[in-house]
C-alpha cells in the first residue's frame, strides 16, 4: 500500500468557503508582539514614518513575511511587499495591505490590522495548502499618516503615479530631514521601481468614525471616500491698543474670523446633507493680549460624498467671509489650496466584500469613508475597495483608539474570502 500523496487543495471557482478562517490566537500573538515596538505608556504606539521605531516595525515585518514563505521586495519608496506565486504564471496579483507608520502617540490598530491581517491570511492559506490562481501580494505602504512628512500617502502616491519620486524624496520634516535621506538612513530605500500592475486592491482598516460602533455592525462595506475642499482664508484689519481704541472704530480680524467659524458650523447643520466642515488652524497676528488682531489666517476643511454639496459649501463659505469682512470693515482673501473629488470604489470589488461579509456571517453595513486612505490612490490604477471594522466611540489617531479583537478577526476573515474570490477569477 503506497502512502497517500498530499495534493495542494485548490479553490476551483468563485465560490467562497466559510470553513476557511484565520487563526485567532496566532494572529493575536503577532499583533501584541508587533505593538511592543514603540509602545507608549498609555497603550498606544509611537512609530512615525522613517523613525527608528518605524524601522524596527519594518524589520519585523520583513522577517515575518520571509518566514511565511513570501518573496520580499522593498521598492524605492520603502513600500514593503511580500508575494506568493499563483498556479497560473504571470498573472497580475491580488494586492492587499495597509500601513505600519503611526501618528505621534497613535493607536495600535490604525493600519496595523490591515498589514498583519494580510500576513495572517497568507499563513492560513499556507496551512490549508490553498494556492490561488493569481499571485497574492501583501503590502505595507510608506508614510501613510503624513504627520512627519507631508503630504500623507506618499508611498502609494508614488506607486500609482500621483507624485513623482523626486518630489517625495524632497519632502522634509520639521527639523529639515529629507524623506529620501531618512529612507536611506533606516535602510529602506530599495531598488525596485515604485510601480505595479495589480489585478485589484483590498484594504482592511479601522473605521475612525462612530457609525459601525453605533449600529453594532462588525464590518463596513466601504463604497467610496468623501471628496473635500481645503481653503485658506485671510482677514486683514488694523492693529491698535486694546485700551484707548473705542469699539466702534475697530477693524478686528479676529471678530470676522469668529463669525466665519460659527458660520461654518451653522452651514453644516442647515444643509441637511452629509456635509462636514472644520476650521482647524488659526494664525493670529500680532497675537498679543493688549493689541487688536490685525491679521488672521485660517483654514477651512469641507467634505461630502457629493461633489455638488462641496461646491455649494465653498460658495456659501465665500459669502460668509464676505459678509464678515463687510461687518467688521476688514480686507479678505480666500484661496482653495486643494480640491479632491469624491472617490467611488469599484462596484465589483464592493460587491465581493459584501458577499464575503455574508459568507462569514458578519453583521455589516454599507458606508463611505470620511478619511482618505492608500486605497484612494490604488483606485486610480486598479479595481479597489475597503473593509472597515468598528472604532469604539469613533476614536482614532490617539492612544485611546480601540477595536474589539473579535471584530478585527471577523474583518480579516472577510478580507480572506474577498481575496480568494478575486485571486481565482479570470
Ligand atoms: Zn490608517
Per-residue pLDDT of the chain (426 residues; tens, 9 = 90+): 444 455 444 444 456 899 999 999 999 999 999 999 999 999 999 999 999 999 999 999 999 999 999 999 999 999 999 999 999 989 999 999 999 999 999 999 999 999 999 999 999 999 999 999 999 999 999 999 999 999 999 999 999 999 999 999 999 999 999 999 999 999 999 999 999 999 999 999 999 999 999 999 999 999 999 999 999 999 999 999 999 999 999 999 999 999 999 999 999 999 889 999 999 999 999 999 999 999 999 999 999 999 999 999 999 999 999 999 999 999 999 999 999 999 999 999 999 999 999 999 999 999 999 999 999 999 999 999 999 999 999 998 889 999 999 999 999 999 999 999 999 998
Give 396 Cα–ligand 1 centroid separation in angstroms. 9
- Environment class of residue 89 by beta-carbon count within 10 Å: exposed (0-12), middle (13-18) or buried (19+)? exposed
Domain boundary among 283, 314, 340: 340
Q: Specify whether 43 is located in the same domain as 100.
A: yes
- Residues 263 and 249: their CA atoms lie apart, in Å, by 24
Q: Specify whether 242 is located in the same domain as 202.
A: no
Whether residue 286 has a cis bond before it, omega within 30° of 0? yes
Give 9 Cα–ligand 1 centroid separation in angstroms. 34
**What does pTM read for this prediction?**
0.90
Residue 60 grid coordinates: 519585523
Give 208 Cα–ligand 1 centroid separation in angstroms. 9
Find the helix or strand (DSSP H, E) in which 378 lies: helix 374-381
Give 279 Cα–ligand 1 centroid separation in angstroms. 22
What pLDDT does 397 receive?
A: 86
Contact criterion met (CB below 8 Å) for 266 and 284 = no
Per residue in 19-54, pLDDT tens?
A: 999 999 999 999 999 999 999 999 999 999 999 999
Q: Specify whether 114 is located in the same domain as 138.
A: yes
Give 157 Cα–ligand 1 centroid separation in angstroms. 15
SS3 label, residue 217? coil
Q: Is the dihedral of CA 155, 165, 81, 415 positive or negative?
A: positive
**Any residues with CB less than 8 A from the CB of 215 and at least 6 apart, and which?**
365
- Residues 277 and 301: their CA atoms lie apart, in Å, by 6
Q: Is the dihedral of CA 417, 123, 189, 50 positive or negative?
A: positive
What pLDDT does 426 receive?
A: 83
- Residues 45 and 42: their CA atoms lie apart, in Å, by 9
- Residues 179 and 164: their CA atoms lie apart, in Å, by 13
Per residue in 123-163, pLDDT tens?
A: 999 999 999 999 999 999 999 999 999 999 999 999 999 99
What pLDDT does 150 receive?
A: 93
- Residues 75 and 188: their CA atoms lie apart, in Å, by 8
In a domain, 2, yes or no: no
Q: Specify whether 419 is located in the same domain as 300.
A: no
Residue 94's nearest CA partner among 125, 58, 66 is 125
Q: Specify whether 232 is located in the same domain as 215.
A: no
Q: Specify whether 30 is located in the same domain as 113.
A: yes
The CA-based angle 158-161-167, given to 5 degrees, is 50
Domain boundary among 310, 340, 370: 340
Give residue 352's region: left, alpha or beta (phi > 0; psi -120 to 50).
alpha
The number of distinct structural domains making up the chain is 2
Contact criterion met (CB below 8 Å) for 423 and 206 = no
CATH code of the domain containing 210: 3.40.630.10
Q: Specify whether 312 is located in the same domain as 249.
A: yes
Q: Specify whether 250 is located in the same domain as 154.
A: no
Dihedral (C-alpha) 99, 104, 110, 115: value to the nearest 10 degrees?
A: 30
Q: Specify whether 416 is located in the same domain as 293.
A: no
Contact criterion met (CB below 8 Å) for 180 and 356 = no
Give 260 Cα–ligand 1 centroid separation in angstroms. 31
- Residues 392 and 292: their CA atoms lie apart, in Å, by 43
CATH code of the domain containing 267: 3.30.70.360
Q: Specify whether 178 is located in the same domain as 231.
A: no
Give 38 Cα–ligand 1 centroid separation in angstroms. 17
Give 153 Cα–ligand 1 centroid separation in angstroms. 10
Residue 5 DSSP code: P
Give 129 Cα–ligand 1 centroid separation in angstroms. 31
In a domain, 3, yes or no: no
* Boundaries of domain holding 265: 227-340
Amino acid at each position: 500500500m503506497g502512502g497517500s500523496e498530499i495534493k495542494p487543495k485548490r479553490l476551483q471557482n468563485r465560490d467562497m468557503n466559510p470553513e476557511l478562517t484565520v487563526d485567532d490566537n496566532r494572529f493575536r500573538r503577532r499583533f501584541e508582539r508587533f505593538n511592543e515596538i514603540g509602545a507608549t505608556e498609555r497603550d498606544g504606539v509611537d512609530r512615525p514614518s522613517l523613525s527608528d521605531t518605524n524601522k524596527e516595525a519594518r524589520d519585523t515585518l520583513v522577517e515575518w513575511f520571509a518566514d511565511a514563505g513570501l518573496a520580499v521586495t522593498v521598492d524605492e519608496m520603502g513600500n514593503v511587499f511580500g508575494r506568493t506565486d499563483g498556479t497560473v504564471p504571470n498573472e497580475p496579483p491580488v494586492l492587499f495591505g495597509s500601513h505600519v507608520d503611526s501618528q505621534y502617540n497613535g493607536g495600535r490598530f490604525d493600519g496595523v490590522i490591515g498589514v498583519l491581517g494580510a500576513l495572517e491570511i497568507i499563513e492560513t492559506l499556507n496551512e490549508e495548502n490553498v494556492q490561488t490562481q493569481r499571485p497574492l501580494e501583501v503590502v505595507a505602504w510608506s508614510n501613510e499618516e503624513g504627520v512627519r512628512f507631508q503630504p500623507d500617502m506618499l508611498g502609494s502616491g508614488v506607486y500609482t503615479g500621483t507624485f513623482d519620486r523626486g518630489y517625495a524624496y524632497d519632502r522634509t520634516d520639521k527639523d529639515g530631514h529629507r524623506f529620501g535621506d531618512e529612507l536611506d538612513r533606516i535602510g529602506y530605500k530599495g531598488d525596485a521601481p515604485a510601480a505595479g500592475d495589480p489585478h485589484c486592491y483590498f484594504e482592511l482598516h479601522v473605521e475612525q468614525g462612530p457609525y459601525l460602533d453605533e449600529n453594532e455592525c462588525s464590518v463596513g462595506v466601504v463604497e467610496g471616500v468623501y471628496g473635500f475642499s481645503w481653503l485658506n482664508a485671510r482677514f486683514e484689519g488694523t492693529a491698535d491698543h486694546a485700551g484707548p481704541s473705542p469699539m466702534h472704530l475697530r477693524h478686528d480680524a479676529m471678530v470676522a474670523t469668529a463669525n466665519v467659524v460659527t458660520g461654518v458650523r451653522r452651514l453644516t447643520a442647515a444643509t441637511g446633507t452629509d456635509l462636514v466642515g472644520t476650521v482647524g488652524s488659526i494664525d493670529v497676528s500680532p497675537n498679543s493680549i493688549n493689541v487688536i488682531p490685525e491679521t488672521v489666517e485660517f483654514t477651512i476643511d469641507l467634505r461630502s460624498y457629493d461633489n455638488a454639496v462641496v461646491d455649494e459649501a465653498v460658495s456659501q463659505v465665500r459669502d460668509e467671509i464676505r459678509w464678515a469682512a463687510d461687518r467688521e470693515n476688514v480686507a479678505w482673501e480666500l484661496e482653495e489650496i486643494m480640491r479632491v473629488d469624491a472617490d467611488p470604489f469599484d462596484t465589483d470589488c464592493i460587491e465581493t466584500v459584501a458577499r464575503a461579509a455574508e459568507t462569514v456571517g458578519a453583521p455589516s453595513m454599507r458606508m463611505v469613508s470620511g478619511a482618505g486612505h492608500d486605497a484612494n490612490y490604488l483606485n486610480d490604477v486598479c479595481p479597489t475597495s475597503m473593509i472597515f471594522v468598528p472604532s469604539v466611540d469613533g476614536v482614532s489617531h490617539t492612544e485611546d483608539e480601540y477595536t474589539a479583537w473579535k471584530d478585527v478577526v471577523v474583518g480579516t476573515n472577510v478580507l480572506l474570502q474577498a481575496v480568494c474570490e478575486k485571486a481565482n477569477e479570470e
